[in-house]
Amino acid sequence: MGNVFDALYDVLFQPKIAMQMIAEQKKISQAVIVFFLSLVIPLWALYFGMQDVGMSAMVPFVIGFKIVSSMLMWFMGAAVWHLIAEFLGGRGTGLGLFTTLGFAQFPQVFIVPLWVIAALLPASLKSIMMAVAALTIFGWSFFLTITAIKEVYEFSTAKAMLVMITPILAILVVCAIAFTFIGSAVTQMPMWL
Amino acid sequence: MYKKSVIIVIGIVIVLSLIGLAFHGLGAKNKGKVSQSDKIGIIYVDGVIIGGRGQSSVLMEQGGTDQIIKQIHQARDDGSVKAVVLRVNSPGGSAAASQEVGEELKKLRAQGKVVVTSMGDVAASGGYWLAACTDKIYANPTTMTGSIGVYMPYANWEELYKKVGIYQEKIKSGPHKDILSPERQMTDAEREIIQVMVDDIYNQFVDVVAQGRKMDKEQVKKLADGRIYTGNQAKQLGLVDELGNMYDAIDGASQLAGIEGKPTIKEFGKTSAWNMVFGPSEKISTLLEQFLFQKAGNQLNLGVPLEAAPEKWQVK
């Protein structure tokens, strides 16, 4: 896997080998380029999609939010998942995970050609095709993220999934506790109505 | 080499898709021969017409006739805007604020822009004042309009104050300085002063309607006894030109402005994403209106509201 083209090909067609190599080589600059391409190209589709549905006023807000949240997710996701993986006995590096997660976003560029194909379809099929495309891309990126965690820390699929969903579970637990406390506080208040 | 070729092909497909996407977007806009240069501006007048800057939040201001006037100026300065549709959904409000906006609408017309009114649920009193200042009026058959008239509310709470034990004294610079004070009975002289003021504003209102609708002043006075009309009745009486909704008004404005094809719509004062997040909310607007027009009651007497005021003001 000498250059970025080889890496991208392997990410698409041999993800297991690709993630092993990327984690080993830790080519951060390539990961940054791939991540930004994977972020900017779908934004193009998002921009025209929002224009078409008359949400042009929301465009700067949504695009700004998408850019900031994606970057935060990349950095914070790598940090949190690395910590959890280490707790679970993983031996990979944080930098390795960070690099592989950058490459794992690459399938998102396919949203543009899929959107164009959807736009050419009859109106009744257009929204279904868009939904199917979005779900496929999401599933593909999810699969690559799991593969990245698996290969970086040499985990089983189940353990990799546990690493991935642990932060979500933690947020849910915190929310449940918060709601429980708020709920008990509210029920103790005098009735005003 | 094979891997590189595959990725290059994928790259080409994506670039072509990006270009196709851009063209598809433009293609969609060109459907129906949309005119890109000639625009129709839409300015919304919602709720009670009240002067000033309206509501303020930490980062911006919204509502109040200052905002409407700003939008009228934006439409005036935008060369691509050939006509403006004034979408009125208002029961009226302050006479001065209505007059201020009405005068700006006249100036906009004097600049060569067509101004057409589209009445929503209600466009009465001050709302009709604005409509009368435009080139053409569209109303729905069930729109509530008319209410051409003026009144100044006055509540006498003297007996209540006595029961509660409130006795207010005032040191006045003149006999009429505390005119319309709620804690005492109005004198005949004061009633005469207020009546003259109300009549003066009424005559100004009638003049605006007569001039705007090209009607005889006496004819307007016959209709202007303060009653409300449905859009249908108003059409028969000549207070409204056409029956139709906002899109009919847009088409009418387009024809008057000589715009060929489907016009591009430009909404002034449209809520931006920033405004949605940081601007004042609708709920605050309602609360503000409730405070100003129901709770504060007679403290707004000097604002000289038109007949849009709630019944609660008319304490007898």
- Residue B263 pLDDT grade (very low, low, confident, very high; cuts 50, 70, 90): confident
CA distance A56 to chain B (A): 9
**Facing B14 at nearest CB: one of A58, A59, A109:** A109
Residues B192-201: contacts with CB under 8 Å, at least 24 apart: B194/B152, B194/B154, B197/B152, B197/B304, B198/B150, B198/B151, B198/B152, B201/B95, B201/B150, B201/B304
Residues in chain A closer than 8 A to B3 (CB atoms): 5-6, 9-10
pLDDT of residue A184: 67
pLDDT of residue A52: 66
Alpha-carbon span B239 to B137, nearest angstrom: 8
Query: What is each CA distance from A33 to A106, B135, B261, B266, B275, in whole angstroms?
Result: 10, 58, 45, 39, 34
Reported ipTM exceeds the 0.85 cut: no
Query: What is each CA distance from B308 to A70, B65, B191, B218, in whole angstroms?
Result: 51, 16, 21, 23
| pTM score, whole prediction | 0.55
Residues in chain A closer than 8 A to B20 (CB atoms): 116
pLDDT of residue B54: 65
Contact assignment for A5 to B4 by CB distance below 8 Å? yes
- Residue B4 pLDDT grade (very low, low, confident, very high; cuts 50, 70, 90): confident
Give the active site residues of B: 125, 177
What stretch of H or E contains B62? Answer: strand B61-62
**Facing A116 at nearest CB: one of B10, B24, B273:** B24
B21 in reach of chain A (CB within 8 A): yes
Model confidence at B314: pLDDT above 80: no
Contact assignment for A57 to B272 by CB distance below 8 Å? yes
Contact assignment for B4 to A45 by CB distance below 8 Å? no
Q: How many residues are present in chain A? A: 193
Contacts of A77 (CB under 8 A, 6+ apart): A101, A167
> Is the four-CA dihedral A88, A92, A93, A96 of positive or negative sign?
negative
By CA distance, what is A46's nearest residue in B? B21
B30 in reach of chain A (CB within 8 A): no
Spell out the alpha helix ranges (H) of B158-281.
Answer: 158-164, 188-213, 217-223, 231-237, 246-257, 273-278
pLDDT of residue A49: 73
Backbone angles phi and psi of B229, in degrees to 5: -125, 155
Contact assignment for A119 to B3 by CB distance below 8 Å? no
CA distance B27 to chain A (A): 11
Residues in chain B closer than 8 A to A119 (CB atoms): 21, 24
pLDDT of residue B63: 57
- Residues B60-99: tens digit of each pLDDT: 445 589 989 999 999 999 888 999 999 999 999 889 999 9
pLDDT of residue B30: 43
Q: Tokens 């607007």, residue? A: B285
pLDDT of residue B278: 53
Residues in chain A closer than 8 A to B272 (CB atoms): 57
Model confidence at B303: pLDDT above 50: no
Assess contact for A145 and A163: CB atoms under 8 A: no
CA distance B206 to chain A (A): 41
Model confidence at B279: pLDDT above 70: no
Strands B61-62 and B136-139: unpaired
B31 in reach of chain A (CB within 8 A): no
Coil, helix or strand at residue A26: coil
Crossing angle (nearest 10°) for helices B2-30 and A111-120: 40
CA distance B271 to chain A (A): 8
Residues in chain B closer than 8 A to A61 (CB atoms): 273-274, 276-277
Model confidence at B282: pLDDT above 50: no
- Residues B195-212: tens digit of each pLDDT: 999 999 999 999 999 999
- For all residues of chain B together, what is the average pLDDT? 82
Assess contact for B44 and B87: CB atoms under 8 A: yes
Residues in chain A predicted with pLDDT less than 70, given as ranges, are 1-2, 52-55, 184-193
B265 in reach of chain A (CB within 8 A): no
Q: Which of A182, A115, A18 is nearest to B16 (CA)?
A: A115
- Residue B114 pLDDT grade (very low, low, confident, very high; cuts 50, 70, 90): very high
Assess contact for B137 and B239: CB atoms under 8 A: yes
Alpha-carbon span B85 to B137, nearest angstrom: 10
Model confidence at B316: pLDDT above 50: no
Q: Which of B151, B150, B109, B143 is nearest to B129 (CA)?
A: B150
Alpha-carbon span B242 to A60, nearest angstrom: 40
pLDDT of residue B24: 62
Model confidence at B105: pLDDT above 50: yes
> How many CB pairs lie under 8 A apart between chains A and B?
56
Residues in chain B closer than 8 A to A3 (CB atoms): 4
- Residues A129-155: tens digit of each pLDDT: 888 988 999 999 999 999 999 999 999
